[in-house]
């Protein structure tokens, strides 16, 4: 995996509607894949719509929500630096990467979903048969994508995301700009879900989605497996001098 390059696209949005509360990336949905990819030898680049420091949802660092990986991440100077130096999405080229991963947190509903550069980038990944992994509200990045026939990419595709019942449980049904489950269904996705806040992952070709933070580990591992199975490493061509 040392030659593999994985792009992570996170949110730059830090406001929870007009409530005055903060949001951002849900830390475990970034931290868990980060260590899975790193330990597999992959090279990672983190990109956001605005570039620079990535906002973190404060609730994901609370005592109730913190995990072993979030504690490890925030105590890891290299990881914290990675989080503070995201690349503006406009500087990213899909050809430079083998796979893309979108963590959630509520931020993507406001900035990843409508971003035209993210849209074009993800459409290129799909057209090239590269895997796209998305967790929770990161799945919002798939809503507007079109395939090579101009059709909605998610129509007729099996996937999952943060559910309406989880949004209701969080007390945010009237705060978010739209309910992701409802939007996916209305656009023709074959949506399914598991129990609230428990691991649930759906894989449909090169699209791998997870319902919530508990699904981060499985989505990351499936993304790596897809790359290893379907995208063999190209051996470098010998130099002309070596041929002669």
Res 219 pLDDT > 90: yes
- Mean pLDDT of all residues in 98-123: 98
Region 69-89 average pLDDT: 98
In total, the chain counts a number of residues equal to 244
Task: Tell me how far apart the alpha carbons of residues 162 and 137 are, in angstroms, rounded to a whole number.
Answer: 6
What's the whole-number mean pLDDT along residues 127-135? Answer: 97
- Walk across the sheet containing 201-204 and list its strands: 87-88, 43-48, 5-9, 99-102, 132-135, 207-210, 201-204
Q: What pTM did the predictor assign?
A: 0.94
- pLDDT higher than threshold 60 for residue 100: yes
Instruction: Using pLDDT thresholds of 50, 70 and 90, give the confidence band for residue 234.
Output: low
Residue 238's pLDDT is 54
pLDDT band at residue 244 under the 50/70/90 scheme? very low
Helices within 128-163 (DSSP H only): none
Using the predicted structure, report yes or no on whether residue 241 has a pLDDT greater than 50.
no
CA separation for the pair 9, 111 (Å, rounded): 11
- pLDDT given at position 242: 45
**pLDDT per position as a tens digit, 44-71:** 999 999 999 999 999 999 988 999 999 9
CA atoms within 13 Å, Cβ hemisphere of 108:
29
Ramachandran angles phi, psi of 65, nearest 5° = -105, -15
Q: Which sign, positive or negative, has the C-alpha torsion 221, 45, 110, 17?
A: positive
pLDDT score of 94 more than 70:
yes
pLDDT at 232: 72
Strand partners of residue 87: 47
H or E element at residue 6? strand 5-9
Identify the pLDDT of residue 231. Answer: 82
**Does the structure show a pLDDT above 70 at 190?**
yes
**pLDDT of 243:** 43
Mean pLDDT of 137-143: 98
Domains of the chain by start residue, with CATH: 5-243 (3.40.50.880)
Helix, strand or coil, per DSSP, at residue 57? coil
Confidence of residue 235 (pLDDT cuts 50, 70, 90): low
């Amino acid at each position: 995996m040392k030659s593999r390059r994985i792009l992570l696209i996170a949110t730059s949005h830090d406001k929870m509607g007009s409530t005055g509360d903060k949001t951002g990336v849900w830390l475990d949905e970034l931290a868990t894949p980060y260590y899975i990819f790193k330990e597999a030898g992959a090279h990672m680049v983190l990109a956001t719509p605005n570039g620079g420091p990535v906002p973190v949802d404060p609730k994901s660092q609370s005592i109730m929500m913190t995990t072993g990986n979030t504690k490890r991440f925030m105590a890891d100077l290299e990881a914290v630096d990675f989080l503070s130096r995201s690349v503006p999405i406009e500087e990213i080229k899909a050809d430079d990467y083998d796979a893309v991963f979108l963590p959630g947190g509520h931020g993507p509903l406001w900035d990843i979903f409508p971003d035209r550069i993210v849209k074009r980038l993800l459409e290129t990944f799909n057209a090239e048969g590269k895997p796209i992994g998305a967790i929770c509200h990161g799945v919002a990045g798939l809503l507007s994508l079109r395939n090579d026939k101009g059709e909605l990419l998610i129509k007729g595709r099996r996937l999952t995301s943060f559910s309406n019942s989880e949004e209701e449980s969080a007390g945010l049904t009237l705060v978010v700009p739209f309910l992701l489950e409802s939007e996916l269904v209305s656009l023709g996705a074959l949506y399914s879900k598991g129990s609230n806040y428990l691991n649930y992952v759906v894989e449909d070709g090169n699209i791998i989605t997870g319902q919530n933070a508990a699904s981060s580990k499985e989505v990351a591992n499936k993304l790596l497996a897809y790359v290893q199975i379907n995208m063999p490493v190209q051996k470098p061509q010998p130099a002309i001098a070596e041929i002669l």
